[in-house]
Amino acid sequence: MVTRASLCRLLPVPGGLSSRTPSDTPRTSGRVVLIVGLFCALLMSAGEARAGDEPGWDASAFYEQCAPSTVMITAVETFPKGMLNRTREAVQPFPLYRIPFDLLGLVFYPLEVPAFGLRKWGGSGVIIDEEGHLLTNHHVIEGGDVFWAELHDRRLLRAELIGSDSAEDYALLKLGLEGGEVTPAKLGDSSEVTVGDAVVAIGSPLRLRQSLAIGVVAGLERRIQAGSGRPRAGFQDYIQTDLTIGFGSSGGALFNQDGEVIGLTTMMVAGGRTGVVTFSVPINVVKERLPELKEHGQVTRGYIGAHVKDVTPRLIEELDLKVTSGACIYNVRGALFRPPPARRAGLQRGDVVIEYNLPGRPLAIDRARPLARAVLNTRPGTEAEIVFMRGDERRTVTLTVAGR
């Protein structure tokens, strides 16, 4: 309820409330009506502007266009594979508290299969070409050896595992089309994604085929620490969204509003304090490794043995740096008999890398993430030229990238 005191706070009068007389009320009311009217007009114009920002975007039409390229995946662990998995777990000594459970699992597994059947679990995927190749998460197919994909038109097809990357959690499979046709999705460019972009996920949570969820990008280049769900590699860069997904959505496509795949939905972290936070593998991380995955079935990574950080004001003060950008070497790993390439090349704590040059591919470095990604994508055995600043002095070293 609007009171005289609240009006006074909104429209102060010289002398305060005590100086006002009953004759002031009509004039003040007119001001309030004018202000409210102007405010409502601004809201309406803003709403019309927002509606005009997305002309013709129809969620139903979008779903009809993109859903045919998505699949629901079922992974089956056959008996020989199950025995092999449990034997591997039983002989693995760490963590120590798991030893009794792993041994019991190995002993009782032959009794479990007749009683409860083979283990199955599900996920989602997206078809990426007319040959029937599809992408999903590594943890969807991990442990299984028989895979089925149910398409949007209810066809159930056997899928063959081509290869996977456990470190960055993606896998490539190929459908047994047998003369049939599929609708591939178009792969986008995740480097163009910005915070606030509208995104759409299509997956199969709880085995609910091709479910649609709409949200926005909430963050980029996110890293998941141990204990925040499934542990991931430290060099993973996730797209964070506010989408609500569920078990079975893993590996599903994350689309932009143009219908292009910009990521693979990977995990959801939910809690009473944080709400729902969803993470997706950027599609560029997958695209740059697809040729290698198709040819060799696995991914090889480069390694130089240096831990790098962004140059920040705090780091400048701590290490007395003379530059304001680049990838600062915070720690050089050591080895007693086989020192890593960075240590052999003479790189030290406090050196700031500003260039990472491969033959015919120079790369300027302004922060740590591009350097880490470039090293990972370098084939082991390749010579790389590293330009860095040590204090005010510019230096160059050449090293041979090792394999991770």
* Residues belonging to the active site: 139, 169, 250
Beta bridge mates, 171: 136, 164
For residues 219 and 237, the answer to whether their CB atoms sit within 8 Å is no
Amino acid at 299: V
> What is the distance between the alpha carbons of residues 178 and 33, in angstroms, rounded to a whole number?
71
Q: What is the CA radius of gyration of the chain?
A: 28
Contacts of 89 (CB under 8 A, 6+ apart): 98, 102, 105, 106
> What is the layout of strands, in order, in the sheet containing 393-400?
306-310, 327-332, 352-357, 383-390, 393-400
9, 84, 100, 112, 311 from 116: Cα distances, Å: 71, 18, 22, 6, 55
Helix axes of 99-116 and 79-91: crossing angle, nearest 10 degrees: 170
